[in-house]
Chains A and B, each alone.
Chain A
Amino acid sequence: MGSRFDIRRQTGFTAIAMICFFALYLPIITVVVYAFNAGSSIAIWEGVSLRWFYQAWNNNQVVDASIRSLQIASVAATIATIVATMAALATTRTKPYPGLGFKYAFINQPLMVPEIVTAVALLIFFSRIKIWTGYSGLGYLMAAHTAFCIPFAYLPIRARLENMDLTLEVAAADLYATPWKAFRRVTFPLLWPGILAGLMLAFVISLDDVVITEFVKSGGQDTLPTYMLGQFRRVITPEINAISTVFLLISILIVTVFFFISRKKDQE
């Protein structure tokens, strides 16, 4: 035999894993590489250039859609995180009380229903309201995004709360802190990384959404993803690659920060 018997080894698993990692990144890397293509094809390489980044930057539709995406994501993620924090405080660290199970189910409901179904439901509901009120602004998209962001923001906050030592707040109360002071001085500082993680998760989720946005948006309310979806029906130029690359960069940045926050949580 020669080498030591490794109890963890399974024949072929490492090979399949390597194939997976390769297959996961090859398409993404291709997209990024062709974003720098000098030619106007996304298949034939004609040299390095930043022209498609310039073109995207000067494309009003792209800029408008990007700003709209960021607006919606900021508002939705902020509201979702605030209400999710409150909900997490209300649903953790207590003995079961009437309605607790209902709350869990209700808050997680957007995760249970296929996105297309929610999208259709919102299309129907909001089109009624548009007729009644005459309002057709970004409010609909923000409301829809807030709703489906809540469970995502809720998850890390709740996890953080449940891992928190309850006796810390008991200790604060023992040391003359009123409930509000105990929250402000002990609970909140310890919960903060969870809230931050929830905020970023919600932000990415909102930024990425295609289906619900596609159904809810009124004319001229394209977000970056729905703009891109529309472009796929036309002749595709590396401009899409350039937009995707920037988008990718933002996502990676947020995920990296998120990753490090959750790591820090484990170490504490």
Chain B
Amino acid sequence: MGTGSALKSGRKNGVIVPEQPGKSAIEVRGVRKVFGTGESQVAALDTVSVSIRENEFFTLLGPSGCGKTTLLRLIAGFDFPSAGEILLHGQDIAPLPPFKRPVNTVFQNYALFPHMTVAENIGFGLEMLGKPKAEVKARVAEMLKLVKMEALSGRRTSQISGGQQQRVALARALAPQPKVLLLDEPLSALDFKLRKEMQIELKRLQHETGITFIFVTHDQEEALTMSDRIAVMSSGRILQVGTPWDIYDKPAERFVADFIGETNFLTAAITGMANGKARATLKSGATIDATVAEGFQPKDNATVVVRPEHAKLTSGKGDLSGTVENIVYFGTDTHIHVRLDSSEAFTVRQQNTRSAGCGFERGDKVGISIGNDAAQVLRD
């Protein structure tokens, strides 16, 4: 656990400390959260279970209102679940108030105390834990160094920039060496360049401290670049948990495929299974092999997804055929929108070279070939 072991048991505030660190840092078991009463009841979380491993950079990804922030608040203790358990190293922390949980949060608006200096903000948690002054001071210095803010330790938080506030918020949450760090869309207020910088910075901090990060975002790109594993959420449920590769290349459901990246959806008839792959016959008559989620038996009719960059446009015959409808230039690549003969829409992404044009024009009759490992059958 490295630095995290500083949380000793039997502390004054009664913050609980796990006896035997298990495999998972946080285990969410059948958690429901219902807001409102009677007629106006809304289930923000609908029986969610997920296990978050130690030292993992775990991301909760989904559109606003999907329940990701609610789940984070339940783990932090700002709300209490209506049912279910939340285990921290095997111990149920769901009924504990936030100040008794060895879990810290980086807030979306940072929530830095405006009446305190940068250093006072960072030292606040340790001070509340009753640590001796010298220890607090040393740890604050260490934290300032970690986030490269030594020069501004005496400033008021209103006198520093947004990016610097972000660093202070991080340092403040990391200072008490929490078991788990919760980050609630912490980068959403930053501009594009700074956000890219902080993404790398966050990865570095997670690596250096060895603390489990639970990161909430609606930005799929952010999730893909930073996470060890991602849970995609929608309407209060977790749809799929997996590595960024799994999520992107093997989306299990339509929502996941649609929410992350661009995708082509094709209707197909499943004619058989071989080597864990399904044989899918497309409307064009061509038959392709498509991967299937583990343990899932596709029915006769299914939807197959193909990422635009995994298909190739040819002037001859391919697996599919259609007419070029539109060509959109993106700098690094070009998107070619094709209307298939089956009247479905299909987009192909082609890497650009310096030679002029993409080789096709609007109205061209084209073929599309789908790679050997490019298609995935959806579970919907």
Contacts and interface: CB of A to CB of B under 8 A. Distances in A.
Given A170-B78, A170-B98, A175 B109 contact: no
A14 interface: no
Contacts of B98: 170, 173-174
Contacts of B78: 170, 173-174
A181 to B, nearest CB: 6
B109 A176 contact: no
A177 B99 contact: yes
A184 to B, nearest CB: 11
Contacts, number: 65
A178 interface: yes
Contacts of A189: 115
Contacts of A181: 128
A172 B176 CA distance: 13
A101 B122 CA distance: 40
A170 B128 CA distance: 14
B3 interface: no
Contacts of B125: 175-176
Interface string A128-141: 00000000000000
Contacts of B107: 167, 170-171
Contacts of B111: 165, 167-168, 170-171
A175 B172 contact: yes
Interface in A67-125: none
Interface in B116-148: 124-125, 128-129
Contact of B128 (A167, A177, A190): A177
Contact of B104 (A174, A177, A190): A174
A38 interface: no
Contact of B105 (A171, A182, A186): A171
Interface string A153-178: 00000000000010110111111111
Nearest to A171: B111
Contacts of A185: 124
Nearest to A165: B111
A190 B78 CA distance: 21
A163 to B, nearest CB: 12
A268 interface: yes
A186 B77 CA distance: 19
Interface of A: 165, 167-168, 170-178, 181-182, 185-186, 189-190, 268
Given A174-B76, A185-B124, 10 more contacts: A165-B109, A165-B111, A171-B112, A173-B99, A174-B99, A174-B103, A175-B128, A175-B173, A176-B129, A178-B13
28 contacts: A168-B111, A168-B113, A168-B114, A171-B113, A172-B124, A173-B77, A173-B98, A174-B76, A174-B103, A174-B104, A174-B105, A175-B104, A175-B124, A175-B172, A176-B13, A176-B99, A176-B100, A176-B125, A176-B128, A176-B129, A177-B99, A177-B124, A178-B13, A178-B99, A185-B124, A190-B115, A268-B114, A268-B158
